[in-house]
Amino acid sequence: MSARQSSATAPAARTFAWVPGSCAGEAQALGGFLRALELPASDAGRHADAFERLRAGDLQAILVHGVYPRAALSRAVDRLERNEPGFLQTWFPERFRAWFYGRNLNLADPALPGYFDEAARFQGQLETLFAPLPGIESHVGRLLASLDRGRPFVAAPGEQPGARYMFTTLRAHLEGGFIPAHFDNEQRLRESFRHLRSVVELHTTSFVLALSMAEAGGALEVFDLSVAPEEARLISDDRARDKPDVTRLASVSFRLPPGTLIVLDSGRLLHRLTPVVGAGKRWSACSFMALARDGAATYCWG
């Protein structure tokens, strides 16, 4: 079996399949290695130290349920299916069978031509997705801030005054769509991060907000393999050598119901998206996050 197949679809040595409620109330070590905490969105204020614990390595994942009501989520997915807001559409590499609304920084042209104009337009459209409820940037930003003692979560500032990176991107994974195993810290090795890496700390985390669920598959699978924030290397690239052999690792898989958000220490932990099964798309919003160098905010980008 080639390393490439292995990091894409080969099974882990053993997998703990999370279901809602597996770690409700207090943190549990899922699969014996992944300390996770699960809470309803309405309880976020009672877990103001959650991000502190994540940065300290005491937690690896935070799951928040009920970020938007079910009816609002189905309305939003219906708008996405028709692209009612008129979002910019961009693509993953073809074999991943997925696209974005918005532009993923990792896959962007290194010089970011037109990116900040696209970002300004995209952010405005994004605020309308859940109307009349607040949009993802304001609503999820506030939720995350309440898990970090009120420290704001905002779109990272660009180099020019007033320019901002996209707070998030929306992702549609089609039947058979997947993402091979990787660490999110490899992003900062890419040239499109030249400016961003000068304004953020090394430690990168991410969130996924599930908007819809695949019939089966489409799980965020996290492996028992971690690296330090400074040990970035490109392994999602086809040309990369010495990819971790996932068949020797334990894992925890998360099939997120609509309205559930996971914050994952994805800069440190190896993870992948397992292939989507069934004709329904797996819709999600996904952002990366790192503390601003001055610690005054957490900067987010898609």
Of the candidate residues 184, 186, 224, 265, the single one contacting Fe ion (CB under 5 A):
184
Between residues 118 and 184, which has the closer beta carbon with respect to Fe ion? 184
- With respect to Fe ion, which residue has the nearer C-beta, 164 or 171? 171
Region of 95-103, 119-127, 161-169, 264-272 interacting with Fe ion (CB under 5 A): 264-272
Choose the stretch contacting Fe ion; rule: CB under 5 A; options: 79-87, 98-106, 142-150, 177-185.
177-185
Question: How many other β-carbons are positioned within 10 Å of the β-carbon of residue 83?
Answer: 12
Contact status, residue 59 vs residue 27, Cβ threshold 8 Å: yes
Amino acid at 79: R
Site for Fe ion in 190-209 (CB under 5 A): none
**Do β-strands 261-264 and 216-217 pair in parallel, antiparallel, or remain unpaired?**
unpaired
Query: Where does this chain touch Fe ion (CB under 5 A) — which range of 24-32, 124-132, 176-184, 213-221?
Result: 176-184
The helix-helix angle for 115-126 and 136-146 (nearest 10°) equals 80
| 34-93 binders of Fe ion (CB under 5 A) | none
Encode 180-208 in three state secondary structure. Answer: EEECHHHHHHCHHHCCHHHCECCCCEEEE
Q: Which range in 14-22, 128-136, 182-190, 196-204 contacts Fe ion by CB under 5 A?
A: 182-190
State the minimum distance, in angstroms, from the CB of residue 271 to Fe ion: 6
Residue nearer to Fe ion on the CB measure, 260 or 266? 266
The CA distance from 30 to 20, in Å, is: 12
User: For Fe ion, which is the closer residue by CB, 106 or 212?
Assistant: 106
Identify the helix (H) or strand (E) that includes residue 6.
helix 3-8
User: Which amino acid, residue 247?
Assistant: T
CB 199 within 8 A of CB 159: no
| Shortest spacing between CB 46 and Fe ion, in angstroms | 28
32 burial class (0-12, 13-18, 19+ CB within 10 angstroms)?
exposed
For strands 298-301 and 153-155, give the pairing: parallel
Shortest distance, position 182 Cβ to Fe ion, whole Å? 6
Give exposure, 239-274, as e/b (b: 16+ Cβ within 10 Å).
Answer: ebeebbebeebbbbbbbbebbbbbbbbbbbbbbbbb
Measured from the CB atom, the residue of 184 and 265 that comes closer to Fe ion is: 184
Of residues 146 and 187, the one with the C-beta less far from Fe ion:
187
Residues binding Fe ion: number (CB under 5 A): 2
Minimum Å distance from CB 199 to Fe ion? 21
Stretch that binds Fe ion, among 4-12, 189-197, 237-245, 258-266 (CB under 5 A): 258-266
Nearest residue to Fe ion on Cβ basis: 184
Q: Are 63 and 265 in contact (CB under 8 A)?
A: no
Interacting stretch for Fe ion, rule CB under 5 A, among 3-11, 23-31, 57-65, 179-187? Answer: 179-187
- 15 to 34: interface string for Fe ion, x by CB under 5 A: --------------------
Interaction site with Fe ion (CB under 5 A) = 184, 266
